[in-house]
Amino acid sequence: MRAQLSFYRFITRKLTAVLTNTSRCNKVGIMTNNPSVKNTINAFIQRVKDSNPNEPEFLQAVDEVANSIIPFIHANEKYRGNHILERMVEAERIIIFRVPWVDDIGNVQVNRGYRVEMNSAIGPFKGGLRFHPSVNLSVLKFLAFEQVFKNSLTTLPLGGAKGGSNFDPKGKSDNEVMRFCQSFMTELFRHIGPNTDIPAGDIGVGGREIGYLFGQYKRIKNEFTGVITGKSLSYSGSLIRPEATGYGCIFFVVEMLKTKQQTLNDKVVVISGSGNVAQFSCKKAIELGAKVVTMSDSSGYIYDEDGIDDEKLNFIMNLKNNKRGRIKEYTDTFDAKYVANARPWSVSCDIAIPCATQNELNKEEAQALIDNGCILVAEGANMPCTPNAVRLLHSHKIAFAPGKASNAGGVSVSGLEMSQNSIGYSWTAEKLEERLLNIMKEIHKQCVKYGKGDDEYIDYVKGTNIAGFVKVADAMIAQGVV
């Protein structure tokens, strides 16, 4: 307690000290390169590090936000003294639970389940579930933390959360996946609800898993409610939700290109991943005239110099969504190169869209993209670019969109699915796609408002973080110390 008090006093002293220094303000009044602010940031990050040891992904996400937000807090009196960011890095609640299940040969298996309920200041907890062997507390805390900012940007009343398990659906039968999902929900159900916490999909959680999870919730609670999004249309899902993250990402890219007086037409696009986000980013990019030349999975990537067209993309969708095969099999049917154990960032392109997982594009790979003429990188995945890669892209003035902004289309349509569930009505695909487009345009506008520098370069990282922060911070201040 004493240590906490002296830390807060230290931060307050630092902020007061730098307030007297009025040099070097940018367009939104934020002082940059001020050594006192830098010290404040470093002290804050050290504090978070000390209280969250062995959580590198969470620290990485906090570090990025702190570097944007602390200078902003310090330039805006309203946000000083409330310890908003200190509160935002503490989850409101974290649930960790055992998930026992029986495999097809009768062996008992056990996995660990999680739900990180990060912040409910502006709405009920909302965010996906990830089933992947790499899942741990650090990964889910980083995802939940980012979700708070992302959901705030969507213009919808959604708090932030994330959950999942180290269960690996790869290689499991449908029955095994079903038994796992039923066991997972048998604990999770008591923590969620349509007005409390509304999970959805993420890596390893698609339509099949959402169906099993929803079915078990309904069975236990004896209630048919909009407790999960990403549901199938046959049981109150929303049109466009499967497409939303990828389509939204491309709509965001179009807005970014507009600032350069360019369009997607004839642009060469490199995409990583071949799951939900990758597939629908590819589909919309093709529709808008781009040539998509790569897709990948955790074993390697395919390079199709002629471009992936609708027929080839349908093949990939069937391969990944139904046959659950490997991307290499593309080359059995189509003329393309397969590169094993590698990522696609050395392929020459105009635009790169990483859509697989966190930290999948490092500094050397960013350098390769720059050397090959890439002008824009937009994150379809959550935090796929390492901090060094982002710094390099910024230093070369490459347009760079963080996932919190560019992949917010998925959760946005989840929010629209919740609205449709609550009024018992289904909107048309056209209306939903139009809403999605407008939300992505609005997010872009907010990024420009807070991220455009004196040299006209748009720092989307700063823009995203500040715009996302302001709404949550205002709500937290209004609600008192809770």
Ligand X SMILES: NC(=O)C1=CN([C@@H]2O[C@H](COP(=O)(O)OP(=O)(O)OC[C@H]3O[C@@H](n4cnc5c(N)ncnc54)[C@H](O)[C@@H]3O)[C@@H](O)[C@H]2O)C=CC1
- Site residues (vs ligand X, CB under 6 A): 201-204, 206, 245, 273-278, 297-298, 355-357, 360, 380-382, 407, 410
Cα angle 302, 304, 305; round to 5? 140
Q: Which two tokens stand for residue 181?
A: 């999902």
> How would you classify the pairing of strands 291-297 and 268-272?
parallel
Q: In angstroms, what is the minimal distance from the CB of 370 to ligand AKG?
A: 27
According to CB under 6 A, which one of 57, 64, 117, 202 is a site residue for ligand AKG?
Answer: 202
According to CB under 6 A, which one of 36, 119, 238, 414 is a site residue for ligand AKG?
Answer: 414
* Residue with Cβ nearer ligand AKG (192 or 200): 200
Q: Which of 14, 162, 172, 462 is catalytic?
A: 162
Cβ neighbours of residue 279 closer than 8 Å, sequence gap 6 or more = 246, 313, 316, 317, 320
The answer to whether residues 165 and 238 touch, using CB atoms and an 8 Å cutoff, is no
Asked about 291 being catalytic, the answer comes back as no
Q: Which does 275 bind (CB under 5 to 8 A by kind): ligand X, ligand AKG, none?
A: ligand X
Q: What is the DSSP string of 140-169?
A: HHHHHHHHHHHHHHTTS---EEEEEES---
Alpha-carbon distances, residue 264 vs 115, 246, 307, 358, 449 (angstroms)? 38, 15, 14, 25, 23
CA nearest 345: which of 264, 431, 271? 271
Is 46 assigned to a binding site? Answer: no
C-alpha span between 355 and 378 (Å, rounded): 9
The answer to whether residues 165 and 184 touch, using CB atoms and an 8 Å cutoff, is yes
Q: Which two tokens stand for residue 61?
A: 């996400």
Binding residues among 117-136 for ligand AKG as defined by CB under 6 A: 126-128
According to CB under 6 A, which one of 113, 410, 451, 468 is a site residue for ligand AKG?
Answer: 410
According to CB under 6 A, which one of 200, 227, 349, 458 is a site residue for ligand AKG?
Answer: 200
Q: In angstroms, what is the minimal distance from the CB of 376 to ligand X?
A: 18
Nearest residue to ligand X, scored by beta-carbon proximity = 275
Does the footprint of ligand AKG cover residue 273 (CB under 6 A)?
no
Q: In angstroms, what is the minimal distance from the CB of 123 to ligand X?
A: 17
Q: In angstroms, what is the minimal distance from the CB of 382 to ligand X?
A: 4
Q: What is the DSSP string of 40-108?
A: HHHHHHHHHHHHSTT-HHHHHHHHHHHHHHHHHHHH-GGGTTS-HHHHHTS-SEEEEEEEEEE-TTS-E
Q: Which does 316 bind (CB under 5 to 8 A by kind): ligand X, ligand AKG, none?
A: none
Q: Which does 204 bind (CB under 5 to 8 A by kind): ligand X, ligand AKG, none?
A: ligand X
Q: In angstroms, what is the minimal distance from the CB of 244 to ligand X?
A: 7
C-alpha span between 382 and 230 (Å, rounded): 18
Q: Which does 229 bind (CB under 5 to 8 A by kind): ligand AKG, ligand X, none?
A: ligand AKG
* Residue with Cβ nearer ligand AKG (286 or 416): 416
* Residue with Cβ nearer ligand X (41 or 61): 61
CA nearest 294: which of 230, 394, 364, 365? 365
Q: Which does 357 bind (CB under 5 to 8 A by kind): ligand AKG, ligand X, none?
A: ligand X
Strand partners, 452: 458
According to CB under 6 A, which one of 40, 382, 464, 465 is a site residue for ligand AKG?
Answer: 382
* Residue with Cβ nearer ligand X (31 or 443): 443
Is 259 assigned to a binding site? Answer: no
Q: Which two tokens stand for residue 199?
A: 């999970």
Is 414 assigned to a binding site? Answer: yes
Size of the site for ligand AKG (CB under 6 A): 13
CA nearest 406: which of 355, 364, 366, 472? 355
Catalytic sites, residue numbers? 162
Residues interacting with ligand AKG, by CB under 6 A? 126-128, 147, 150, 200, 202, 229, 382, 407, 410-411, 414
Annotated binding site for substrate: 126, 147, 150, 201, 414
Residues annotated in a binding site for NAD(+)? 245, 276
